[in-house]
Structure 1
Amino acid sequence: METKRIKETKMKHRKSFVLGILVLVGLYSCVPTREIRDENASVPENYQNQSTDTLNTGLVQWREFFKDPNLVALIDTALVKNQELNIMLQRVDMAKNVIQAKKGEYLPFVNLQAGAEVEKVGEYTRNGAVEKNLEIKEGEEFPEPLTNFGLGAFATWELDVWKKLRNEKKAAVYEYLSSVEGKNFMVTNLVSEVAASYYELMALDNELAIIDQNLEIQQNALRMVKLQKQAARATELAVKRFQAEVMKNQSHKYEIQQEITVVENRINFLIGRSPQHVDRTSDHFIETQIDTLYAGIPSQLLQNRPDVRQAEYELAAAKLDTKAAKASFYPQFTIKAGLGLEAFDTKYLTSTPESMLYSVMGDMVAPLINRNAIKAQYKNATDRQLQAVFEYEKAILNAYIEVANQLSNIDNLKKSYELKEGQVQALTESIDLSTRLFQSARVEYIEVLLAQREALESRMELVETKKDQMLAQVNMYRALGGGWN
């Protein structure tokens, strides 16, 4: 009879176990799944009207690309003292700390615990009755009230069956790598911004020099017109017009001086110092040779551009976050264990094995009803993954278009500069020619004014075009992913 009852009990336990398994299987077969399309990382084989040569200027270190020692010194200072870059470096360090935290989550937690307590229980309770019984057997009274002392180590360990914790740790690694690439992208932009401001400053110096040269020519012309008036060969109108032209350019000179101050202080801000003079050599700016740049092939952008790699790492992290979010639907297994000493009196605390305690316990916790929060987290994770796909594709497309634009810009600026050089030469010669014709009364004074004005404008435009060429070089270097290495 007893054997039959035992068999029935075992049969019930088996049925309950099988039923529990079926419930779990049925429950987790309903775990939501959202399909996310793969990213499109394809780029054209080559840039329009460009060769398929893999020689790439973006791989050149910035110290070799920029040859002006004053500019190199400014960039060196910026890479050490720029506040925004130093803020970014702290973000990178914090991302690295997250890896350490995530790594510790899937390792066992072991805590040392020591404690003391005092307790008075009623005699007509379970504990009270036990104490009275022990008192009769042992002939020794328990302390009243009862104290308790303990010392031991206790561990908890979540078994990473579904790789949730490991995926979170890997995602943290990718987030860290993304932050490193973000820092590299900031370095690229910082280098290019310092260089662009430096070339802009040199261009303003040259424009200021042109204004001074033109003022000297105009003041000579003004003296000439005054002499012509005294000889009754010119009118007061001509004198006033020449005076107005001189004042106009004197006013323009102060405008340029203010622009120089603004650009100098922009550079000082970028390199993290208070306003002061920026060393530069602007005398030969207009004769600066434009080096040939090599764009390589578009696929190199995937490796050279820090912003593209940053988006790639963000996408990898988003994929792992989606897996970790999905694992929240599955049961969580935890092991708890403890080993220590416990006694009602400290003199018995070291008496082993009587005072020794130990425990081992396994838990399984699974969400059963009202899983809306988990579903929402999973949907958000998949949405972020899809967002990261679009960000990655956008970064690739933007990189390709930036290079294509700069290739066209460099080519068009080269042609424009050659034509402007001829224009400057012709208009400069026209100043001397119109002045001599005016002295011989063969042309009106207005012709001299127009010749001077057009020559000034053409020289200023030539400097602007040279500046645009230098900026195009910098922008092309940045677009190819240069400057961070």
Structure 2
Amino acid sequence: MVSAGAAALLSVWLAGCMVGPNYKRPQVAPPPAYRGADNAVTDAAQTASVGDQNWATVFQEPELQDLIRTALKNNYDVQIAAKRVLEQQAQVKITRAAEFPTLSGGGTGLGAELPNSLGNQVGSNPLADGSFSFSAAWTPDFWGQYRRATEGARATLLQQVWAQRAVRMSVVQQVATAYFTIRALDRQLEISQETVKIRQQSVDLTKRLTDGGSSPLSDLRQAEESLYTATSEIPQLEQQIQEEENALRLLLGQDPGTVAHTDPHALDPVPQALPTGIPSQLLERRPDILEAEEQLINANAQIGVAKAQFFPQLSISASAGLGGDEWSNLFDPGGHTVYGIGSLTQAIFEGGKLKGQLNLAKAQKEEMVLNYQKTIKGAFRDVSNALITVNKTRATREQQERLVASAEDASRLARMRYQGGATSYLEVLTTDATLYSAQLNLVTAQQNEALSLVTLYDALGGGWQE
């Protein structure tokens, strides 16, 4: 009973004695609410957040959903991130193996039939010899060096898992950004083509008036100048569309080609009063924050690895074997050999190496603490900037819509005045150019508003959820 109790006590001591600090999350005081546009604050009692929603709920365009779904399946960065997780899973197994004894076995055999002249001299003929052996070795983890190393390896594994989720989140953002950009270019191309038709009609009309002597040649040249200004925009827009398609195809893991981008509602206004939740939720949702924390956990574990090397290291090895000079007595118990060896090693002088390793581990942990805190502060900034962007891009789009309405009416009135002889053709050209520019700028404002939703969703840590 005494020996059994002592063995149990020893096993508990071996399992529980680990030098080095246990991990504690650093204290971070998040703000009670996010700062929005013009110093407005979000509702601190609202715990629901668009960041918790699946990407298919946030981006409801069927074309975009199909693109994101394909990208998450085929994107090379997503696949690479998944392989890195598998690599680290294997590394955890490799690191953890140091905690256990090793066991190996082997055997040798020899047989030979000698000539009679030699056989008489040797004795028995034919000759036979063989042996089997087993050996074991173990370095008990008295001070937790190997367990701390495993703890660090597991933290690195979780770091890779969160890195993989960050890649998924980034791919969702990039695909959505590319899609909205293409739809904006599509709309600008449509506006340019419509403008070309209207200006071509103006050139034809002005040419007839010039040929009839009702208008000077300068009016025709100005009309042509206005036409070619619009026609020169079309090839540039077509180039940008095709380049964006190729970029999007790369995100999809596909060769250059076309993609579907016809949804008429892609640039619709972003819903107002999007739920953001509270800042403290980001600590459990954003992959970059959780990845930084796992880096910190690993650094904390390395302190224990460094401290354990200051203490004595015990190594135990044992071997057993059987052998004989004839096949019949190969397994004879009288030919067995058993031995065991134990060694205890204590570092006495290593020129400051151990102290340097410990100081390095502590400094790296302090660095990771600062990196963790910086990542959190950066996340709060990202959400605040995104909220400001959503608000201001909506305001810009609304003002741009008013500008387009005014420019359309000014262009209509200018043409009426010109046809009535009350003004020169220069006024028509000026109002027409203003309208064209305002229409293009409105599309840009709509694009920026659509992208503000992408930015806010990304800032809140959304997009990696299955």
Aligned counterpart, 1:86: 79
Q: TM-score, normalised by structure 2?
A: 0.87
Give the 5 Å matches for 1:75-474.
Answer: 75-115=68-108, 149-288=130-269, 290=271, 292-352=273-333, 354-474=334-454
SS at match of 2:139: strand
> Residues 254-293 of structure 1: CA distance to partner in whole angstroms, max 9, x if unpaired?
0000000011011100001112211122434454553542
Q: CA deviation at 1:117?
A: 8.3
Q: In 2, Cα distance between the equivalents of 1:287 and 1:383?
A: 51
SS at match of 1:159: coil
Q: In 2, Cα distance between the equivalents of 1:223 and 1:438?
A: 15
Alignment partner of 1:57 is 2:50:
yes
Q: TM-score, normalised by structure 1?
A: 0.84
| 1:290/1:469 contact within 8 Å kept | no
Q: In 2, Cα distance between the equivalents of 1:163 and 1:479?
A: 39
Q: In 1, Cα distance between the equivalents of 2:88 and 2:272?
A: 40
> Residues 221-246 of structure 1: CA distance to partner in whole angstroms, max 9, x if unpaired?
22222233234332111211111111
Aligned counterpart, 2:11: none
Q: CA deviation at 1:148?
A: 6.3
Q: In 2, Cα distance between the equivalents of 1:425 and 1:286?
A: 18
Q: CA deviation at 1:143?
A: 8.4
Q: Which amino acid aligns with 2:90?
A: N
| 1:149/1:344 contact within 8 Å kept | yes
Q: CA deviation at 1:376?
A: 3.3
> Residues 394-429 of structure 1: CA distance to partner in whole angstroms, max 9, x if unpaired?
210111100000101111111111111111011011
5+ unaligned residues in a row in structure 1: which ranges? Answer: 1-32, 119-139
Aligned counterpart, 1:47: 34
**Which stretch has the larger CA shift, 213-222 or 90-99?**
213-222
| 1:40/1:393 contact within 8 Å kept | no
SS at match of 2:301: helix
Q: How many correspondences in the alignment?
A: 429
Q: Which amino acid aligns with 1:57?
A: V
| 1:290/1:470 contact within 8 Å kept | no
Q: Which amino acid aligns with 1:480?
A: L
Q: In 2, Cα distance between the equivalents of 1:297 and 1:284?
A: 30
5+ unaligned residues in a row in structure 2: which ranges? Answer: 1-19, 36-40, 112-120
Q: In 2, Cα distance between the equivalents of 1:152 and 1:326?
A: 37
- Closer, same or farther in 2 for the Cα pair 1:285/1:335, shift >3 Å? closer
Aligned counterpart, 1:127: none
- Closer, same or farther in 2 for the Cα pair 1:106/1:309, shift >3 Å? same
Q: Which amino acid aligns with 2:416?
A: R
Q: CA deviation at 1:454?
A: 0.6
Aligned counterpart, 1:7: none
**Which stretch has the larger CA shift, 107-116 or 50-59?**
107-116
Aligned counterpart, 2:14: none
Q: In 2, Cα distance between the equivalents of 1:148 and 1:380?
A: 55
- Closer, same or farther in 2 for the Cα pair 1:431/1:61, shift >3 Å? same
> Residues 312-359 of structure 1: CA distance to partner in whole angstroms, max 9, x if unpaired?
11101110011111211211111111222133444432111x111112
Q: Which amino acid aligns with 1:41?
A: V
If you compute each CA radius of gyration, which structure gives the higher value, 1 or 2?
Answer: 1
Aligned counterpart, 1:479: 459
| 2:156/2:294 contact within 8 Å kept | yes
Q: CA deviation at 1:189?
A: 0.5
Q: In 1, Cα distance between the equivalents of 2:66 and 2:447?
A: 20
- Closer, same or farther in 2 for the Cα pair 1:72/1:37, shift >3 Å? closer
Q: CA deviation at 1:47?
A: 1.1
Aligned counterpart, 2:17: none
Q: CA deviation at 1:393?
A: 1.2
SS at match of 2:248: helix
| 2:183/2:267 contact within 8 Å kept | no
Q: Percent identity, aligned pairs only?
A: 25
Aligned counterpart, 2:6: none
**Which stretch has the larger CA shift, 109-118 or 270-279?**
109-118
